[in-house]
Amino acid sequence: MSDHPDCLQFTLSSHPEAVLSRMNILREERHFCDITLLLGGPVGATEHPYFLFSTLTSILQTEAPMYHSLNTCVPLPHL
């Protein structure tokens, strides 16, 4: 249960399989490449909000454009 009544939380049991399937298609189509970003030091994609939201918006398709993280509701751009 969310601590924020305005936040919508949901679980989609098919999500992990759908993400892995889509990632495999991208891999087969050779859309992946290795990069290193240096912004005053190495930046992990999982630690930087830009990459988190970029990944979410490219993979997820939802009618509820909200992402709940660390007790903070952040509106996502419309897909």
pLDDT in tens, 21-58: 998 998 899 888 777 666 665 555 556 665 555 555 55
Say yes or no to pLDDT of 7 above 70. yes
Helix (H, G, I), strand (E, B) or coil at 68: strand
Helix (H, G, I), strand (E, B) or coil at 2: coil
Q: What is the pLDDT of residues 9-18, one digit of tens each?
A: 778 889 889 9
Please give the average per-residue pLDDT across 63-68, as a whole number: 46
Q: What is the pLDDT of residue 62?
A: 46
Sign of torsion, CA 19 21 22 26? positive
